[in-house]
Structure 1
Amino acid sequence: MRIFSLISTATICWVLSVALPSAQAENWPQWRGPKLDNISHETDLPISWSSTENVAWKIPMPGPGGASPVVWDDRIFVTAAAGDDLLLMCINTDGKELWRKVVGQGNKTARTDEGNSASPSPCTDGKHVWSYMGNGAIGCYDFDGNEIWNFNMQDRYGRFDIQFGMTSTPVLDGDRLYFQLIHGDGDAATQEALVVCLDKLTGKEIWKQPRPSEAVAENEHAYASPTIYRDDEREFLLTHGADLIVAHDLDTGKEIWRSGGLNPPDRYDRTLRLVASPTTAEGIIVAPSAKRSPLLALRPDGTGDITDSKTYRLWQHEKTPDVPTPVVYDGIVYLCMENGNLTTLDAKTGETFYKQKRTHRQRHRASPIYADGHIYLTARDGRITVVKAGPEFEVVSVNEMKDSLAASPAISNGTIYLRTFDNLWAIRKE
């Protein structure tokens, strides 16, 4: 019996050791990844590739899209604008299209090459997938492509009045979908900024809350996405736009606290629309603004209006990313500017490790991703710069895709998925 026990124990240990690498793989279920922080916990990822090297496969897309792909096990979900159709597509991890659905119709482009109505990213829980489009169309589908429900948010919550389209991506958390509908023309009688929570399986409204602000002109139009702060003591939804970052109770939508300071009144900019979204780590919320306004680092335990509170503002930095969302990892805040310059700050103090280091002087629309000791910076012209994570600046590799993109990467099962305007790429070590 003892010999059998020893053999069985050894066999189990061997099986576990063999299975361990696959057990380390993680899904990428929505924009910003499994914990909404732009962080992948996978290892042994490629850091060097080209349009031919370390390419497992690529598949052409029926039209452009700026939404990040999402991945669950062997399924990849991605959106596209094909003529007037706004599509959700399901592709397996071998690069074969399984199905496509028309979620809605009525595509509009923004600034010719900046985006379109297929810009919000889908999300999945492993059984269903949800796709929200910039024209308000939203649908829920099972993994075989069967429609569960579909409607248009504008029919339910009023016409979107937003200059470059509703690009905000909803957050999936548990059984709920959270949306920020921050837009308007200053006429409270016809437009109202809202925060909305829906039941994911039925599409029925759980709650909606008005989100008042004193923002004017273009500042009423927010292109950022909501996120969730969560630690051992508290959890809440964060919405970002109209000169404010606001914390809401997850169960009711009731406002917990709000902070201005993103568009200082002494030099108020009427065109300061917020695009970059907030990011979180334990004990800190990093709130970007735009253009020449500051970036704020806030404590999560505030109540009421904390705009002028020294207690709840950890620090602020004089320059903010305009579009890419920051990343916080291992006590360091990474700021990728629109022009590709990279700055790193101490998350506790805001002190600078290095400042405005040049990577690739091109538009950066995608948000940076941390993975396996590196920061991946994605430029609009398809060049992806890999920088070593840490307090010292070091470019590890520069990768030329020769394929334009605006979507943030997704990482799952040893593969980096890149949704360019023309293709979906799977980058994997050969």
Structure 2
Amino acid sequence: MRRVLAALALVLTLVGTSLADNWPAWRGPQRDGISKESNPPTTWSKTDNVRWRLPLPGPAGSTPIVWGERIFLTSAEGNATVLLCVDTDGKILWKRPLGEGNKVVRKGEGNSASPSPSTDGQKVWANASTGELACFDFDGNEIWRVDLQDRYGKFDIAFGMTATPVLDGDRLYLQLLHTGGAIVACLDKETGKEIWRQNRESDAYAECEHSYASPIIYRDKDREFLITHGADYVVAHRLDNGEEIWRCGGLNPRGNYNPTLRFVATPAAAPGLIVVPSAKNGPVLGLRPDIKGDVTKDESAYLWTRPNNTPDVPSPLIHDGLVYLCRENGVLLCLDAKTGKELYQNRTHAQRHRASPVFADGKIYITAADGTVTVVKAGPEFEVISSNDIEEPLAASPVIADGTLYLRSYDALYAIEPEEKK
């Protein structure tokens, strides 16, 4: 019996470690930008502490994902988009076509390989912003494929449908918000067949109808729901059928309406709090999760509000009672999660920031577009631990798995490890 119990304890330990070491989706294991890894690397350069650098077939802003000894990432390749499988030694195991007609936007800053893949440890799901969505097994065999534009109508969106679907249990949740239509849908992850779809109503117009944010799931012991963000509103939907539970506007005030206010930053959630960004130095909302109906003018729905200083592209980070907002200009704000009180506002690096912040082992990784990653001490006081430059343009969020930091530039995938691990 002792041997059985010991073996069971070992299995549970290995399973727990495996789960903690993986990075199965954009923003990590819990889709919140938080890693449970200890002692991640904090200093590196283009060559120092770099275990390997793998040149990629083309640029992209999508974040890699990691499961065990496999890394998956999407990339442009000429006029196409592809899904790559790379081992943790930096070798490409396979490459599969994902979509045709790669659309390059904002002078090369973005393209059709912007959405990030997701995995459950057995299969991987990936999509291109042109509408192709496919499922593969870990050996690269295609399980199913669907063209979302054929199914849900042609996309009318300036820079492509960049939202990353949410993989949760046996379902895949999509938000497709654009001028030609606004649809939220749920697919069976094993077959790609539609489980439900809902039209998402809005009075937004012009470019405001275009959303580049991704959906998220809020979950605590009392409730769970899908959150979609765009077209002037943040909206909560039931997971079983997509019906609307609540919505909140006020992110693009009608008295001073900005017809170019498209949402890019994705909301963040922790038990008891949903942090909702807007765009272009607009407001940030701290919402309660236990609300119903249109709460735009319901003061009791708000834990706090900020009239400005929203992160325009990087998504918020919530950890240990604090909210971190990284603005596009590299200014980092730290707020009290309960009250929204500002604890500090300091610049990390004076360059454009596109990637979302990541927390690990008491540190926050802030990534700039010029390839500089600033490591900041987590907590209510601002302190820079290090500044590290790979000297290549970078828009993807950092990934931390099994003691290794992965950075995906427009040119290459980097595996960076602490000095003591080398």
Q: What is the TM-score when the length of structure 2 is the normalising length?
A: 0.95
Tell me, in whole angstroms, the C-alpha distance in 2 between the residues paired with 1:135 and 1:386. 34
Aligned match for 1:41, one of 36, 41, 44: 36
Q: How many angstroms does 1:22 deviate by?
A: 5.2
1:360 maps to which residue?
Answer: 349
Q: How many angstroms does 1:14 deviate by?
A: 12
Tell me, in whole angstroms, the C-alpha distance in 2 between the residues paired with 1:282 and 1:403. 37
Q: Which runs of 4+ in 1 moved over 6 A?
A: 11-16, 18-21
CA contact (8 A) 1:264 1:293 kept: no
- Describe the shift of the 1:415–1:203 C-alpha distance in structure 2 as closer, same or farther (beyond 3 A): same
CA contact (8 A) 2:343 2:381 kept: yes
Aligned match for 2:334, one of 324, 340, 344: 344
Tell me, in whole angstroms, the C-alpha distance in 1 between the residues paired with 2:56 and 2:397. 16
2:396 maps to which residue?
Answer: 407
Aligned match for 2:130, one of 131, 135, 150: 135
The reply to whether residue 112 of structure 1 matches residue 101 of structure 2 is: no
Q: Deviation per CA, 1:176-201: give whole Å up to 9, x if none.
A: 110100001xxxxxx22000110011
1:328 maps to which residue?
Answer: 318
Aligned match for 2:139, one of 140, 144, 148: 144
CA contact (8 A) 2:125 2:134 kept: yes
2:165 maps to which residue?
Answer: 170
State the AA in 2 paired with 1:244.
Answer: Y
Tell me, in whole angstroms, the C-alpha distance in 2 between the residues paired with 1:80 and 1:295. 32
Tell me, in whole angstroms, the C-alpha distance in 2 between the residues paired with 1:34 and 1:198. 21
Q: How many angstroms does 1:334 deviate by?
A: 0.2
Query: Counterparts in 2 of 1:250-399, with a 5 A limit?
Result: 250-318=239-307, 319-355=309-345, 357-399=346-388
Tell me, in whole angstroms, the C-alpha distance in 1 between the residues paired with 2:159 and 2:370. 21
Q: Which runs of 5+ in 2 are unaligned?
A: none
CA contact (8 A) 1:103 1:150 kept: no
Tell me, in whole angstroms, the C-alpha distance in 2 between the residues paired with 1:39 and 1:102. 31
2:47 maps to which residue?
Answer: 52
Q: How many angstroms does 1:12 deviate by?
A: 8.2
Q: How many angstroms does 1:267 deviate by?
A: 1.4
State the AA in 2 paired with 1:150.
Answer: R
Larger Rg: 1
1:187 maps to which residue?
Answer: none
- Describe the shift of the 1:109–1:14 C-alpha distance in structure 2 as closer, same or farther (beyond 3 A): closer
Query: What is the RMSD computed on CA atoms of the aligned residues?
Result: 2.1
State the AA in 2 paired with 1:222.
Answer: S
Aligned match for 1:63, one of 58, 62, 66: 58
Q: How many angstroms does 1:223 deviate by?
A: 0.5
CA contact (8 A) 2:209 2:230 kept: yes
Q: Which runs of 5+ in 1 are unaligned?
A: 185-190
State the AA in 2 paired with 1:168.
Answer: A
Identity %: 58
State the AA in 1 paired with 2:117.
Answer: P
Tell me, in whole angstroms, the C-alpha distance in 2 between the residues paired with 1:13 and 1:216. 58
Tell me, in whole angstroms, the C-alpha distance in 1 between the residues paired with 2:58 and 2:198. 35
Query: Counterparts in 2 of 1:222-241, with a 5 A limit?
Result: 222-241=211-230
